[in-house]
């Protein structure tokens, strides 16, 4: 996530008489002025356009209509004060192609801002765009989605759109754009699959996209796309409109919408669902964002001294617990799910959001499609809201159906992400076996000493690499001084295997399948494209590792025992077996979801030397994965040689 410089500017809260003397910070403010009619923002038709703004602290409000995304004074229309802090205006005629903003008077000061509810915006997002959304639907735009039963069946592939295609050897025509991910038949060095074909061929089920909503101009200026630029996009500006820098022409407001939909349809047609990375915990700038200009003080959290709360580290925290902010978030998620057919949402710094908003989001999505996933970063972070109200891991029991990234499992596997030279289980750190077992069990309360935050496995997301921090390969390099490339490659493979053969939801970062490197850069949110891009030449050189990842995915899909639906099933069928230090072994015994007569034995071994384990007497064992490591398999004894994973089955 990007870090924004806090800009100290005065905030004017308006005349208290306008709000009957009730401060925006008071609980009574929501009781008096919260509005839930659901028609905020623009309602367009070819006959007229209606606008509804929530701005209870304003003495006056105006709608401004512009002919262009910039410059030229617009036509102003006085808005009429309505119930519970709302203002309304209707303009006759077809405004398709026009742009709009709101102006509010707070005391003697006039503030102008884009509509927070705008569903289309002009270049760089300073004005809302008026258009007929149905004209943005691509020629093929269906409600059909790939079949999907349970979150633990998901295999998530996290991707930054620009990373995918910008490499000169990507074989994609629409480099850095939405349409690149819709291209089929693309090939790279030595004829390897790239882009959509590569992702579909891996066998993943969900593509998780780093932010695709409109983000700050300070990150990427949409008028200067011919200049070098890059950003992850964790600095929200307009939550309900797509980012323009990924469009073929950011100056045409409807085009980015159409091209994003075209991309989503292409993914659905290839059997891939789409998860959207959403950042409702902070905004790009707490003083200049449209929320603050229209209703100063309401939408963000403040400390007792009047300064902005900054648990996010980005200069501000969104006050998700305030009714109108909470409703905005829920309605925004619902909008993306309905209008764009989004199949899941990943909540950035979810631990800064409140439990009630997350629960309501899950409830509303269940009403649309229960298979829509909700996962997030449930970190415990300091903010101006009590810990018992925040959506972090320790409150997972209050949020059924919402998954949390398992950072303890991640760090146990590869080493603490903040201590660069610290190794993990895969690289020889001793004493991490209990932490590895806790992740294998899906983060549930499995047994004394093996317990994490999850009530059910659907609440646990397993991963060893994501866009944040070092790639897995770079972390291994930093923490294994003097090791050979061959040994590091074995460690890398072992880490991925642990993710796929553990209970819960597996998650990988784009390029993890070919040992992606960012040349040691820890957080590349605004690094050059050369650091961030997916290196298709590296992919071509590591095709054996790509095949290895495919085999892991196939193995997980083939055996329901790796993706048990309930904590009770896990406790009934998972048994940890005896293993030497720096190794973890377990059996999945007669899982009812598969062949009741079949048992699975898994060994994760981080010993570089020969290792022997005694197998439980459950039948005749045979190797189905890791035969290259298996030195001897006779009776109830397995001997392996080197770092890696072996999987056996018995009937």
Is 252:258 a contact under the CB 8 Å cutoff?
Answer: no
The DSSP line for 142-182 is -S-------GGG--EEEE-HHHHH-STTS--SSTTSGGGGG
User: Do the strands 505-509 and 156-159 form a parallel or antiparallel pair, or are they unpaired?
Assistant: parallel
Residue 509, strand partner residues: 158
Of 62, 235, 259, 377, the catalytic one is: 377
CB 454 within 8 A of CB 442: yes
Q: Give CA 277 to chain center in angstroms.
A: 3
The SS3 of residue 133 is: helix
- The per-residue b/e assignment along 363-397, b for 16 or more CB within 10 angstroms, e otherwise, is eebeeeeebbbbbbbbbebebbbeeebbbbbebbe
CA-based nearest residue to 617, from 603, 633, 637, 632? 637
Residues 6+ apart with CB under 8 A from 67: 74, 98, 99
Query: Annotated catalytic, 377?
Result: yes
Gap between the terminal Cα atoms of the chain: 48
Q: What is the DSSP letter of 311?
A: T
Dist CA 47 CA 95 (whole Å) = 9
- According to DSSP, the β-strands at 621-625 and 583-589 are unpaired
Query: Which residues does residue 577 pair with via DSSP β-bridges, in sequence order?
Result: 585
Residue 318, SS3? Answer: strand
- Using CA atoms, how far apart are residues 219 and 214, in angstroms rounded to an integer? 11
Longest dimension (CA), the chain: 87
Q: Which long-range contacts (CB under 8 A, 24 or more apart) does 184-188 make?
A: 184/266, 184/270, 188/536, 188/537, 188/539, 188/540
CB 396 within 8 A of CB 454: yes
Q: Which of 338, 298, 290 has its CA nearest to residue 116?
A: 290
Structure tokens at 475: 């972390």
Given 183, 348, 513, 545, which residue is catalytic?
Answer: 348
CA 515 – CA 545 distance, rounded (Å): 8
Q: Could you give the dihedral angle defined by the CA atoms of residues 99, 280, 266 and 125, in that order, rounded to the nearest 10 degrees? A: 20
Which residues fall within 8 angstroms of residue 448, CB to CB, at 6 or more apart? none
Q: Which residue has the tokens 């004394």?
A: 448
User: Dihedral through CA 61, CA 66, CA 68, CA 70, nearest 10?
Assistant: -40
Question: Rg (Cα) of the chain, in Å, rounded?
Answer: 26
348 is known as an active-site residue: yes
Task: List, by residue number, the catalytic residues.
Answer: 348, 377
């Amino acid at each position: 996530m990007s870090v924004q410089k806090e800009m100290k500017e005065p905030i004017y809260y308006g005349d208290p008489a306008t709000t009957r003397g009730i401060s925006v910070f008071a609980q009574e403010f929501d009781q008096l002025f919260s509005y839930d009619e659901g028609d905020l923002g623009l309602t367009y038709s070819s006959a007229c356009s209606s606008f509804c703004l929530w701005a209870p602290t304003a003495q006056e409000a105006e709608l401004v209509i512009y002919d262009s995304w910039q410059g030229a004074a617009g036509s102003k229309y006085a808005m009429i004060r309505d119930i519970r802090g709302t203002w309304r205006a209707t303009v006759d005629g077809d405004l398709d192609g026009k742009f709009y903003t709101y102006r509010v008077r707070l005391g003697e000061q006039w503030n102008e801002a884009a509509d927070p509810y705008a569903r289309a915006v002009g270049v760089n997002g300073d004005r809302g765009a008026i258009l007929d959304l149905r004209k943005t639907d691509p020629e093929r735009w269906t409600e059909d989605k790939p079949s999907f039963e349970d979150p633990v069946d998901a295999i998530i592939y996290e991707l930054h759109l620009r990373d995918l295609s910008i490499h000169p050897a990507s074989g994609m025509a629409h480099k850095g754009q939405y349409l690149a991910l819709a291209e089929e038949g693309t090939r790279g060095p030595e004829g390897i699959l790239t882009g959509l074909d590569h992702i579909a061929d891996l066998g993943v089920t969900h593509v998780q996209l780093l932010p695709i909503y409109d983000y700050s101009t300070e990150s990427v200026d949409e008028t200067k796309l011919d200049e070098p630029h890059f950003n992850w996009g964790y600095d929200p500006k307009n939550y309900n409109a797509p980012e323009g820098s990924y469009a073929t022409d950011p100056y045409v407001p409807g085009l980015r919408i159409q091209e994003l939909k075209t991309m989503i349809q292409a993914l659905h047609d290839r059997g891939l669902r789409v998860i959207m990375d959403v950042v409702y915990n902070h905004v790009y700038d707490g003083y200049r964002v449209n929320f603050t200009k229209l209703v100063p003080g309401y939408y963000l959290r403040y400390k007792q001294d009047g300064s902005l709360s900054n648990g996010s580290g980005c200069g501000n925290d969104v006050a998700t617990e305030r009714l109108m902010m909470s409703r905005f978030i829920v309605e925004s998620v619902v909008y993306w799910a309905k209008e764009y057919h989004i199949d899941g949402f990943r909540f950035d710094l979810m631990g800064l959001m409140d439990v009630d908003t997350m629960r309501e989001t899950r409830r509303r999505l269940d009403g649309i499609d229960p298979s829509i996933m909700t996962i997030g970063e449930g970190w415990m972070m300091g903010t101006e809201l009590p810990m018992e109200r925040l959506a972090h891991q320790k409150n997972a029991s209050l949020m059924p159906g919402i998954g949390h990234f398992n950072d303890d499992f991640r760090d146990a596997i590869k080493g603490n992400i903040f201590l660069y030279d610290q190794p993990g289980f895969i690289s020889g750190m001793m004493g991490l076996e209990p932490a590895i077992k806790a992740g294998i069990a899906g983060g549930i309360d499995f047994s004394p000493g093996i317990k994490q935050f999850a009530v059910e496995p659907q609440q646990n997301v397993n991963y060893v690499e994501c866009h944040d921090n070092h790639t897995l390969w770079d972390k291994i390099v930093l923490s294994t001084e003097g090791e050979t490339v061959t040994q590091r490659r074995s460690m890398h493979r072992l880490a991925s295997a642990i993710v796929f053969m553990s209970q819960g939801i597996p998650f990988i970062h784009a390029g993890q399948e070919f040992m992606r490197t960012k040349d040691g850069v820890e957080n590349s949110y605004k690094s050059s494209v050369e650091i961030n891009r997916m290196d298709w030449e590296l992919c071509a050189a590591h095709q054996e590792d790509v095949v290895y990842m495919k085999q892991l995915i196939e193995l997980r899909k083939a055996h329901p025992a790796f993706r048990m639906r309930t904590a009770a099933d896990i406790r009934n069928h998972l048994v940890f077996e005896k293993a030497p230090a720096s190794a973890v072994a377990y059996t999945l015994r007669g899982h009812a979801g598969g062949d009741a007569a079949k048992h699975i034995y898994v060994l994760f071994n981080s010993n570089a030397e020969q290792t022997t384990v005694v197998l439980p007497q459950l039948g005749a064992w045979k190797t189905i994965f890791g035969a290259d490591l298996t030195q001897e398999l006779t009776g109830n004894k397995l001997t392996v040689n080197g770092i890696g994973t072996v999987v056996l089955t018995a009937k």
